[in-house]
A and B are shown apart, each in its own frame.
Chain A
Amino acid sequence: MTIISGKKREKIDRLAELAAREEERGVSLWQDAFRRLRRNPAAIVGAVILAIFVLVAVVGPFFVPYGPTDTIGIREGVVRVGQGLIPGHSAEHWLGYDHQGRDVFSRMVVGARQTLLVGVVATMIGLAIGALIGGVAGAAAGLGGRWGRWIDTTLMRFIDMLLALPSLLLAVSIAALLGPSLTTVMIAVGMVSVPVFARLLRGSMIVQSNSDYVLAATSLGVRKSKIALAHVLPNSLAPVIVQATLTLATAIIEAAALSFLGLGNPDSATPEWGVMLADAQQWIGIRPALAIYPAVAIIITALGFTLLGEAMREALDPKLRK
């Protein structure tokens, strides 16, 4: 009787159980997605941009060489707006002065914090309200029954009305209602993204409600409310999280737009990129760089969020998973 040598047998056994060769513990979907994220160059570029941005926004203001409201250029007499004199970059002032003689570099760094704050808070407002409405509507639609359909229809008609208003118009009216301030900008930008989150979560939940594992849970005898919370909701969150990342980018741009229109913080003591951009337009003939700095900063930050968001979408897409 032939006996297969131990070594060869081991080899076959090893190859025959490919699955068992992997790590001891299972890899959850989130871990799996994170792994794929790390392999995606776009995600890395996005993450690096954002890391720098967040670092600057959080610790930067403690290390700026000049106060953001210090009109040093006027004091020293180098900035004379009347004569069209706003000096550019120098060794002391890396990005030069603005029209009030303030150090632009310091203002950019301090402005990063405001910009991040606006973006995050606005997105949070949108996410919280949108997810609440969408989640309730989605759960109600999934639970079925006449009441469920009624709740779903009512909520979604409300969202449709929000969606029917042009976003900028909505933001402008909110800002006009509350008076121009940073809070106004955050609420306005947040409200604009509410319908997006609500529709997304509801749609995603309805798709999940129709899936076989929900049917399986029902046939196990699990309560509807538990199914909605334990199965449907967690599985519907991925697109919402991706959308939140992408919304951060648009929120920053929209906040800048609102500030640019004069609906932002009227007090220019706290610099903000959008306001800086708005202020710079007066002097664009004398020194266009004043507009370019905040514009480029806004674009790069938004790009960072978009890159990361798109990469996350790819990583979380079940169709691309093998």
Chain B
Amino acid sequence: MTDSDILVEVRDLKVHFPIKRGVLFDRTVGHVKAVDGVDLSIRRGQTYGLVGESGCGKSTLGRALLQLTPPTAGEVSFDGVELTKLASGKLRTMRRRMQMIFQDPMSSLDPRQNVESILTEGLQTHGIGGDRDGRRKIIAETLDKVGLPRWALSRYPHEFSGGQRQRIGIARALVLGPELIVADEPVSALDVSIQAQVVNLLDELQDNLGLTYLVIAHDLAVVRHISDTVGVMYLGALVEEAPSDRLYTEPLHPYTRALMSAVPVPDPDVEDRRERILLAGDLPSPANPPAGCRFHTRCPWAQPTRCADERPVLREIGASRVACHWAEQIASGELRPHKVSAEIIRPAGEGEEPGVVSAPSEPGSFV
């Protein structure tokens, strides 16, 4: 692997949202550590899948990577350019090369724009295609790529079905000819039979256009299907990163194991046979994460030493990277799981709820 193979490199990225209180004067009373120190690199032409439960910071990471949410600390380099230090004008120019696909195709399309206007906006912004005819040609080609008919151009988003809307969202990203596409839950709002169409479309576009993807999803099966490398996030940090196949055959982190065992498989034979690791309790609040290993409060393998007071760093074991002090011992069976009693997780002192934190409701900022 040479350096030029790597399109995106994220180093020690942190995104902390201040929790504000006060009627007249805002007072910062704490921080929600949505993303708290993530390192990852995405290779050109490959798909990096980011998986985790709600509130783990995966969406925030995706947005911070694209500088849509300003990172608190850390570096993001895109094709050798450091994005966090880029002036806003230069950043806007760079945006042509990195695009985003959203979860809810309805809310991510301006309801008052027709499809043609949606697709033209980006082209106009970056002065691509020259005149009107040139832009029309590019738009027509893009429609073909995503499998939308020509008559779609004069239609409005609410006139399409969910799957078609997601195709419009993909076309909007694609029309600028980007190199990187960050797809945030691209199929989770769609019907089961439509999900496969969109997954296949993404696969096919990657094959034909050599795109690099960062796919963010909570559905491990979808992520594993589409990704070359999968990163598992828990409370703002990566706990494991492994090649897609290896993650399933040899999950190393206890959380990965639990997550994997919780995903239902549409096959009764598999369902009846497989081991199930039930985690106790809920996700702790990212405003007040546990000390040491963040997973130790729910971990069935947690040990009295190290786990509660020393935060594990990602270290390489084989082809994987894992953040667990005892990964080898767990893999070899030396350590056995024990029962963890559920603790009620109360929305910490400040009343922030784990599930809500990933989308901070601070007013505005379309950065």
Contacts and interface: CB of A to CB of B under 8 A. Distances in A.
Chain A complexes with chain B: yes
Interface of A: 19-20, 22, 24-29, 32, 141-145, 148, 152, 206, 209-224, 227, 231-232, 234-235, 318, 321
Given A143-B364, A220-B122, A213 B95 contact: no
A209 B366 contact: yes
Interface stretch (B3-11, B79-87, B109-117, B318-326): B109-117
A221 B110 CA distance: 16
B364 A321 contact: no
- Secondary structure of the A side of the interface? helix
A144 B367 contact: yes
A19 B162 CA distance: 13
B329 interface: no
Interface in B65-121: 66, 68, 92-96, 98-100, 102-104, 107-112, 114-115, 121
A19 B366 contact: no
Contacts of B161: 19
Given A143-B364, A215-B68, A218-B367, A20 B151 contact: yes
Nearest to A209: B364
**8 nearest CB pairs, A to B:** A144-B365, A26-B155, A221-B95, A212-B108, A220-B122, A142-B364, A221-B92, A209-B364
Contacts of B96: 221
Given A28-B112, A235-B112, A144 B176 contact: no
A142 B367 CA distance: 9
9 contacts: A24-B154, A27-B159, A29-B158, A142-B365, A215-B108, A215-B366, A219-B98, A220-B95, A221-B126
Max count, chain B CB within 10 A of own CB: residue among A29, A144, A215: A215
B304 interface: no
Contacts of A32: 158
A216 B107 CA distance: 10
B64 to A, nearest CB: 12
B104 A212 contact: yes
B366 A321 contact: no
Interface string B170-199: 001000100000000000000000000000
Nearest to A157: B24
Contacts of B28: none
Contacts of B126: 221
Contact of B154 (A19, A26, A215, A321): A26
Given A20-B151, A26-B114, A224-B366, A219 B121 contact: no
A213 B68 contact: no
Contacts of B367: 144, 218
Max count, chain A CB within 10 A of own CB: residue among B112, B149, B164, B172: B112
A206 B364 CA distance: 6
Contacts of A142: 363-366
Interface in B332-353: none
A141 B363 CA distance: 7
A22 B158 CA distance: 13
A216 B159 contact: no
A216 B102 contact: yes
B66 A231 contact: no
A301 B363 CA distance: 39
A222 to B, nearest CB: 5
Nearest to B161: A19
Contact of B102 (A143, A215, A224): A215
Given A144-B365, A209-B364, A29 B154 contact: no
Contact of B107 (A209, A211, A218): A211
B156 interface: yes
Contacts of B68: 215, 218-219
B288 interface: no
Given A29-B112, A141-B363, A216-B100, 6 more contacts: A212-B102, A215-B100, A216-B109, A220-B95, A221-B92, A227-B366
Contact of B159 (A26, A211, A215, A224): A26
A213 B100 CA distance: 11
Given A25-B154, A32-B158, A141-B363, A220 B93 contact: no
Max count, chain A CB within 10 A of own CB: residue among B102, B109, B111: B111
B293 to A, nearest CB: 33
Nearest to A235: B112
B344 to A, nearest CB: 31
B200 interface: no
A213 B365 contact: no
B363 A216 contact: no
Given A32-B158, A234-B112, A210 B125 contact: no
A220 B125 contact: yes
Nearest to B149: A20
Contacts of A222: 121-122, 125
A26 B153 CA distance: 8
A26 B156 contact: yes
Given A144-B367, A209-B364, A212-B104, A223 B92 contact: yes
B100 A219 contact: yes
Nearest to A217: B121
A142 B366 CA distance: 6
Nearest to A224: B366
B126 to A, nearest CB: 6
Nearest to A210: B364
Contacts of B361: 210
A27 B155 CA distance: 7
Nearest to A32: B158
A229 B367 CA distance: 15
A67 B100 CA distance: 69
A107 to B, nearest CB: 45
Nearest to B361: A210
Contacts of A217: 110, 121, 366
